[in-house]
């Protein structure tokens, strides 16, 4: 009975996660108010303020008078009307998306089928049969899925990705009204910490990016529920857990919500170049991105690079029967852990596997984020951080 009571106490104290609350955070960050947490309608700043307000409520410590670290960059954004009309009207996000580096344009173009023996002018738009790099305006079929991204430059040429099923909406001409601007942005990382009780000058970092792909025009935005409102939901619950006196960590833990990950890991790169804590005092970085499922387990980028820490994670998982599988992966420049490990700080990037198929498209909505193994992933992370 004693051991049962003890086990029960351990379980309840660790299962401080609240899946309902995680769903609420994800639904909020993925709502139209935040407009895909990009650089139109100030989505990124609204999201950063939302997180900073939560940090304040949780009681995280800050380094200065607020939780922000600002940085600047340039990016091409679609901040006005967008319409395409041919035989039928084409819907942005559903039929097509413009290439990330599209310039603004208003006018009518002649649609011509690609033929390598022909020459084309700026009044033509060439319908390709597969992706090709040409110095003319192009329409590229994108199969069954449209995937958006960001560009840090603006092209002089128009380019559209079109779903295969929407090609039938084309006739001989294409009427284009496209607004975009290449603009300077000041964005921000959001940083708060819990002071360690034994070695407060040594830090663990738990991070997740809060930004996403923003929107295109007035009708279409990318909710980014799994990518990465889900990681922010997890980060906030971990911050809540460690800020309770009974859970104070041995080492300090810095919680960072990074900005501009989708533009090219810009927030985390800036932090690594301008760290609030010397990198030498940072013992480990745990980056959380795509935490929406876990039903099929998780993948750990850098798992093969840091085998000792990976084995620890495996052992915790097996001993506690948490997740189906933990897969190791080599290094990859695919999220915010990257610049840390490139600069001598050990890091893992954990992403969850299973169920969710939406990625960088308009279907990554909060309703499609099941959080099936959110509690198990939370427990795995808490137990892992305790091993330091």
Interface residues with Zn ion (CB under 5 A)?
227-228, 289
* Closer residue to Zn ion (CB): 227 or 376: 227
For the bound state, the minimum distance from the C-beta of residue 351 to Zn ion, rounded and expressed in Å, comes to: 8
> What torsion do the CA atoms of 331, 332, 333, 337 make, to the nearest 10 degrees?
-50
Q: What DSSP assignment string belongs to 284-344?
A: EEEEE---S--TT-EEEETTTTSHHHHHHHHHHHHHHT--S-EEEE---SSSTTHHHHHTT
* Closer residue to Zn ion (CB): 137 or 226: 226
Separation between Cα atoms, residue 132 and residue 208, nearest integer Å:
35
For the bound state, the minimum distance from the C-beta of residue 62 to Zn ion, rounded and expressed in Å, comes to: 25
Query: How many other CB atoms are there within 10 angstroms of residue 284's CB atom?
Result: 21
* Closer residue to Zn ion (CB): 160 or 258: 258
For the bound state, the minimum distance from the C-beta of residue 261 to Zn ion, rounded and expressed in Å, comes to: 6
Separation between Cα atoms, residue 305 and residue 28, nearest integer Å:
36
* Closer residue to Zn ion (CB): 228 or 240: 228
For the bound state, the minimum distance from the C-beta of residue 288 to Zn ion, rounded and expressed in Å, comes to: 10
For the bound state, the minimum distance from the C-beta of residue 167 to Zn ion, rounded and expressed in Å, comes to: 30
* Closer residue to Zn ion (CB): 159 or 214: 214
Going across the sheet that includes 173-178, the strands are 89-90, 82-85, 173-178, 105-113, 124-127, 138-141, 159-162, 96-98
For the bound state, the minimum distance from the C-beta of residue 128 to Zn ion, rounded and expressed in Å, comes to: 29
* Closer residue to Zn ion (CB): 101 or 227: 227
Burial code (b: 16+ CB inside 10 Å, e: under 16) for 11-37 equals: eeebebbbeeebbebbbbbbeeebbbb
Residue 249 gets the label, from left (phi > 0), alpha (psi -120 to 50) or beta, of: beta
For the bound state, the minimum distance from the C-beta of residue 139 to Zn ion, rounded and expressed in Å, comes to: 28
Separation between Cα atoms, residue 255 and residue 268, nearest integer Å:
12
* Closer residue to Zn ion (CB): 194 or 263: 263
């Amino acid at each position: 009975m004693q051991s049962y009571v003890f086990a029960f106490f351990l379980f309840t104290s660790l299962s401080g996660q609240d899946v309902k609350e995680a769903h609420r955070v994800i639904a909020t960050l993925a709502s139209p108010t935040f407009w895909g947490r990009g650089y139109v309608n100030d989505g990124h700043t609204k999201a950063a303020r939302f997180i900073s307000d939560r940090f304040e409520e949780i009681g995280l410590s800050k380094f200065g008078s607020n939780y922000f670290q600002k940085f600047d960059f340039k990016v091409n954004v679609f901040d006005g009307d967008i319409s395409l009309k041919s035989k039928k009207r084409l819907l942005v996000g559903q039929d097509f998306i413009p290439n990330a580096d599209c310039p603004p344009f208003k006018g009518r173009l002649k649609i011509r089928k690609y033929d390598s023996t022909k020459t084309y002018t700026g009044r033509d738009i060439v319908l390709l049969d597969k992706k090709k790099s040409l110095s003319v305006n192009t329409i590229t079929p994108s199969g069954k899925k449209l995937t958006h991204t960001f560009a840090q430059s603006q092209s002089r040429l128009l380019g559209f990705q079109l779903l295969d099923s929407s090609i039938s909406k084309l006739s001989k001409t294409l009427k284009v009204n496209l607004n975009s601007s290449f603009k300077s942005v000041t964005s921000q990382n959001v940083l708060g910490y819990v002071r360690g009780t034994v070695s407060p000058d040594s830090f663990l970092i738990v991070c997740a990016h809060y930004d996403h792909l923003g929107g295109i025009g007035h009708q279409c935005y990318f909710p980014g529920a799994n990518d990465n409102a889900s990681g922010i939901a997890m980060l906030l619950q971990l911050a809540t857990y460690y800020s309770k006196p009974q859970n104070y960590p041995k080492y300090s833990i810095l919680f960072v919500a990074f900005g501009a990950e989708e533009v090219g890991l810009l927030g985390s790169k800036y932090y690594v170049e301008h760290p609030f804590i010397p990198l030498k005092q940072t013992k480990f970085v745990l980056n959380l991105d795509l935490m929406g499922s876990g039903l099929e387990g998780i993948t750990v980028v850098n798992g093969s690079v840091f085998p000792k820490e990976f084995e620890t994670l495996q052992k915790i998982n097996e001993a506690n029967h948490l997740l189906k599988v933990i897969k190791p992966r080599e290094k990859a420049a695919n999220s915010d852990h990257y610049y840390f490990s490139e600069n001598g700080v050990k890091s893992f990037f954990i992403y969850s596997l299973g169920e969710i198929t939406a990625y960088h498209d308009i279907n990554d909505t909060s309703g499609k984020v099941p959080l099936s193994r959110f509690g198990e992933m939370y427990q795995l992370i808490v137990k892992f951080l305790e091993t330091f």
